[in-house]
Chains A and B, each alone.
Chain A
Amino acid sequence: MRDTATMPAPAAAPTPVVFRGGLFTPATSRIAGALALFGLIGLWQGASSLGWISPIFAPSPARVANALIGMAQSGELQDHIMASLARLFGGYALGMTGGVLVGLMIGLFGVFRSAGIAVVSAFFPIPKIALLPLFILWFGIGEGSKVATIAFGTFFPTVVATYGAVDNVDRSLVRMGRAFGLSTLAIITKIILPGSLPGIISGLKIASSIGIVLLIAAEMIGANQGVGALVLSAGNLMQTDQLLAGVVMLSVLGLTIGGFIGAIEKRLLVWR
């Protein structure tokens, strides 16, 4: 650097180190979420009011709301919802209780394990709605076949989640229990069951949404009452406002059940 005359040495001012630590951790905001939802509905309403969207193929939110209110006033909506809820909860009760019990047996006891896993693996991939015709033959066209379909469909994912959850319980905790002389029963109830609870609950979440899919499919195949039947018959009659009213109810139903399980989860798993 002899040529200092033409190259004035700048007083090297310290520059900040460039930040490059940003990760994909998007912030969430309830307000932004609500705005997006209401914005979308507003857009749809606006487009309908301006006549850009055909009222027959996609009725405006106001008309869907009207249809909902009308059906609620006549009591028709409640009848459909009650019919659906009865089937859904009947199916959940059978499928989830049975699933947790069988899953625990497979997870805990060698005798059940090989046989159980073989059977479950064979049944697991069947879309359970394919069994509805068989269940109609067995249990009749009425409630039995629908409840059985939902029970069957929620049973298998619950079994798989439950024994997976048992398998995932930290074995060092079990060894600790043994080293302190806990009985086998105490190890199961105080270590394995609480340890597998998070996995079981996330299995129940998945099973519950599978149950809703099966409920609607079963109601579309053979029912006069129920949200699935409402959606199907409204479609056949081109009553798209009632059809969408039914769809809105399904969204509410799914959210309610998900929220319910989420609340249980939060209560039971404060330690996480």
Chain B
Amino acid sequence: MRLIADRIHHKYGPLPVLEDISFTVEDGEVVAIVGPSGCGKSTLLRILGGLEKPASGGALCAGEAPAGSLNPFTFVFQDFALLPWRTVAQNVRLPLEGHGLPEAEIAARIADTLARTKLTDFADAYPKQLSGGMKQRVGIARALAVKPAILLMDEPLSALDAQTRELLMDDLVHLHEQGNLSSVYVTHNLDEAVRLADKVIVLRRRPGKINAVVELKVPRTARDGTDAEMARQTKELWHLIRADAEAADREILDA
């Protein structure tokens, strides 16, 4: 399934947040959106997922969702958004309820996604018993259980410590190699973008506009932190956003 951002404009009151954003997420592609904080990345992702109405333009989809998909555009949240009164398995179950699926299929989907996210042993644990990394694995398992066409991830690793982030990044790379899954990955962390994405969209701030689109040619699995090409691309991206990041940093907040 393809997701097309079509001339999206957005404002909060008089403040223009997004201006003329157009791009396409091809089938099976991972598109990272990077930019300094406040440039409108989260707003853009919410518009793409139908949680917010843009002032003009919009998000389009083309093609068929995978068979059995309950929710083609599925979010993974920075703060995990797990229900604390449900166990891991029950949290994964939540979006499967109310669709009239046979109980056997629900159980199979839960077992399958828990296995893919290495959570099988934690099925009966409550979120408060889990580390941040495990909590986000539950968030990812829940998203996979609905068989999404496109994962919409808003800084999914930003609440985690550096080592956990590394481990989950490996898992995300692996997940996308299993194929048949597209993603939009919002982050302010260039290393994450360069590690996972096929294409990086760099947003400029005030208003959020596409500054550059950088294609990453090295296959995902062949990338590691020591790769010279990756280092060069990270540097290139940093040049593109440095001035904006500095401006964002020096801004006086009036809220």
Determine if B83 and A180 form an interchain contact, defined as CB atoms under 8 angstroms apart: no
Asked whether A272 and B51 contact (CB < 8 A) given A173-B83, A180-B146, the answer is no
With a CB–CB cut-off of 8 A, which chain B residues contact A182? 94-95, 98
Interface size class of B (residues with CB under 8 A): 20 to 34
Q: How far is the CA of A172 from the CA of B75 in the complex (A)?
A: 12
Segment of A41-49, A106-114, A186-194, A229-237 engaged in the interface with chain B: A186-194
With a CB–CB cut-off of 8 A, which chain B residues contact A181? 70-71, 95
Q: Which residue of B lies closest to A268 (CB)?
A: B85
Determine if B97 and A186 form an interchain contact, defined as CB atoms under 8 angstroms apart: yes
Counting chain B CB atoms within 10 Å of each CB, the highest count among A181, A183, A269 belongs to A181
Counting chain B CB atoms within 10 Å of each CB, the highest count among A180, A195, A269 belongs to A180
Contact of B81 among A175, A183, A197, A271 (CB under 8 A): A175
With a CB–CB cut-off of 8 A, which chain A residues contact B84? 271-272
Counting chain B CB atoms within 10 Å of each CB, the highest count among A179, A181, A183 belongs to A179
With a CB–CB cut-off of 8 A, which chain B residues contact A269? 85
> Does B74 have its Cβ within 8 Å of any Cβ on chain A?
yes
Contact of B98 among A176, A186, A272 (CB under 8 A): A186
With a CB–CB cut-off of 8 A, which chain A residues contact B128? 271-272
> Does B6 have its Cβ within 8 Å of any Cβ on chain A?
no
Q: Which residue of A lies closest to B81 (CB)?
A: A176
A window 254-272: CB within 8 A of B = 269-272
With a CB–CB cut-off of 8 A, which chain B residues contact A270? 126
Q: How far is the CA of A172 from the CA of B85 in the complex (A)?
A: 15
Q: Which residue of B lies closest to A176 (CB)?
A: B81
Determine if A176 and B77 form an interchain contact, defined as CB atoms under 8 angstroms apart: yes
Interface of A is mostly: helix
With a CB–CB cut-off of 8 A, which chain B residues contact A179? 49, 51, 74-75
Number of residues on chain A facing chain B (CB within 8 A): 20
With a CB–CB cut-off of 8 A, which chain A residues contact B98? 182-183, 186
With a CB–CB cut-off of 8 A, which chain A residues contact B74? 179-180
Determine if B81 and A173 form an interchain contact, defined as CB atoms under 8 angstroms apart: yes
Distance in angstroms from A189 CB to nearest chain B CB is 10
With a CB–CB cut-off of 8 A, which chain B residues contact A172? 77, 79, 81
Q: Which residue of B lies closest to A173 (CB)?
A: B81
Determine if A180 and B126 form an interchain contact, defined as CB atoms under 8 angstroms apart: no
Determine if B94 and A190 form an interchain contact, defined as CB atoms under 8 angstroms apart: yes
With a CB–CB cut-off of 8 A, which chain A residues contact B126? 270-271
Determine if B51 and A175 form an interchain contact, defined as CB atoms under 8 angstroms apart: yes
Determine if A191 and B83 form an interchain contact, defined as CB atoms under 8 angstroms apart: yes
CB-defined A-B contacts under 8 Å, sample of 6: A172-B77, A180-B94, A190-B83, A190-B94, A195-B85, A270-B126
Interface residues of B (CB under 8 A from A): 49, 51, 70-71, 74-75, 77, 79, 81, 83-86, 94-95, 97-98, 126-128, 142, 146
10 smallest A-B Cβ distances: which pairs? A176-B81, A180-B95, A271-B85, A179-B75, A271-B126, A194-B85, A181-B71, A172-B81, A271-B84, A180-B71
Interface residues of A (CB under 8 A from B): 172-173, 175-176, 178-183, 186, 190-191, 194-195, 197, 269-272
